[in-house]
Amino acid sequence: MSTSSSNPVSNTAPPKAPARRQSGDRHVYNGPGMIATGEATALLPTETTPPIKVFGTAAIRETFDDLCLQQAVNSRLAPGVTDLILNPDAHCGYGAPVGSVLVSPTHIYPGPVGVDIKCSMSLLQLDLPADAVDDRKVRRELISAICRRTPTGAGKGQRSVAQSRHVNRTLGKQLVLEGASKDVCMALGIPPNWAFRCEDSFHVGHDGTATALEARLETLLATREMTNFSEKMQQLGSYGGGNHFGECEVVEVGDNERARSVAETFGLHDGNVAFLSHCGSRGFGHILASGQFKHLQTKFDRWGIPLPAGDRQLVYAPLGSDEANNYLDDMSLGANFATVNHLLINALVLEAFQEVIPGVKGDLVYFISHNIARREIVNDRPAWVHRKGATRAMPAGHHSLEGTPFANSGHPILLPGNPRDGSAVMVADPGAEASCFSVNHGAGRVLGRRHAKRVLDQSTVDTELESNDILSNCRRYPIDEAPAAYKDFNEVLHSVKSAGLASEVARLKARFVIKDASKADD
């Protein structure tokens, strides 16, 4: 690829990856094994590059299946890649493993961002004591009030619920260009100051300007793939399906001095109710990402460019090329949608709580992504850090936090676990530099969705939640989202702590969960 997409050039074939073969529907990894370097650290060698850094205890490393390891090696050997990190939640994904970090100063990779551009976590802290949601009837009323405002399900949008915010085409164009600007927030009833509690409240075009982003959007709107733009804007303020959720929590701040001090900086209140959300850029982001995969794969086929390890989902574009510029613009458009989507969900959730319990107040603790590529400084030079199912982890004193509320503490890290075992708020330690200032994005799957449906028992899943007094909007909890489908969250957190990447500030205990009820009730 060149800076002019009409002038193809040949690329040098990437280094050969270790052999890969299939046994039935499983890949068998034949490369070198992992070498332990500490209680929760290891190295995964490759044939031609410095090794992959692995974070996870021996028990966690056993959860990395062969395909996950093969994808990690394939990604490390891809052109322009200088670092590859495997976090404790790592499992096989599309091209690159979910739970990995890929660094390149010269290339951009759509695969290590994924199809849900800027899938993220956000946490809303309420001034409501835990006992206010003890009554199951109150929780049922809260679930209903939230579901009247925030639809769930892959194709669901504002028209499927009664009290959503309407987003027309004009506002839709504005929000994907501006992100959480003051005007966009005011138009949607989002407190504008929440933008200061975002990892990135807005994204600009490939050249650092809004003009480039606007030009790209106009080009996209003229294409056949984006004829449903207005329809996709109707999904703003919704959760979607899969592993996306909203969860009512009770905050339990750690009992050490540092945890209490950091919690105060974050705005966390021990013993109070909070609300944790997980979602991304919905159908709009999926269209953008899918279009980029298709476009780049067509270019690779047309020009005969070798694919890394023959994997079509590891297509890439050299920085400065038209292809890279278009991808970065599309990623920014999707990321701006995801940002506003989260902030609107939080505003609607707060509104729902106020309907059921008048007078409740709430503030955003933080909004942070785990599917994004960001330009950062790695090894003293600019590079694109691709986090796929990985969370940024900048400790106190990091230059990127200068001028933020978290300069002296490190920023909040929001890690979802499962309703049974809780979720966590963490803060980075100086040792996070070893992982390119990244940690896992949650527990990580240990059972694939089909496998979970085959081996898990629905009544056991539902009984387990009931015994923990956790309610849901689903008549039957989605079995492929059951706690047993995920890794041991406490062992995942132990890995992060033992590796010196981050420390726990608070644990979040679930009281009710909002999931995609459409499939759960099939």
Domain ranges of the chain: 32-520
Query: Where does 32-520 sit in CATH, by number?
Result: 3.90.1860.10
Q: How many beta carbons lie within 10 A of that of residue 456, not counting itself? A: 16
Q: How far apart are CA 197 and CA 312, in angstroms?
A: 37
What does the pLDDT average to over 159-186? Answer: 94
Flag whether 27 is marked binding: no
Determine if residue 247 is labeled as part of a ligand binding site. yes
In sign, the C-alpha dihedral spanning 129, 135, 137, 143 is: positive
CB 508 within 8 A of CB 422: yes
pLDDT (0 to 100) of residue 27: 65
pLDDT band at residue 24 under the 50/70/90 scheme: very low
Q: Find out whether 515 is annotated in a ligand binding site.
A: yes
231 carries a ligand binding annotation = no
| Residue 398 marked in a binding site | no
If one compares 428 and 28, the residue with the highest pLDDT of the two is 428
* pLDDT reported for residue 407: 97
504 is in an annotated binding site: no
Report the chain's C-alpha Rg in angstroms.
22
Residue 408 DSSP code: T
Residue 145 CB partners (closer than 8 Å, separation 6+): 352, 353, 355, 356
CA distance 14 to 346: 45
| pLDDT number for residue 420 | 94
Query: Which letter does DSSP use for residue 198 in this model?
Result: B
Model confidence pLDDT, tens digit, residues 334-389: 999 999 999 999 999 999 999 999 999 999 999 999 999 999 999 999 999 999 99
Band the pLDDT of 273: cuts 50, 70, 90. very high
Report the distance separating Cα 52 and Cα 55, nearest Å: 10
- State pTM to two decimals: 0.93
CA-based nearest residue to 401, from 267, 265, 248 = 265
Catalytic residues: 441
Does 91 belong to an annotated binding site?
A: no
Rounded CA-CA distance 499/434 in Å is 9
Q: Averaged over 211-238, what is the pLDDT?
A: 95
CA distance 279 to 235: 12
Q: What is the pLDDT of residues 374-427, one digit of tens each?
A: 999 999 999 999 999 999 999 999 999 999 999 999 999 999 999 999 999 999
Burial 85-100 (b: 16+ CB within 10 A, else e): bbbbbbbbbbbbbbbb
> Is 502 annotated in some ligand binding site?
no
Residue 288's Cα: distance from chain center in Å? Answer: 17
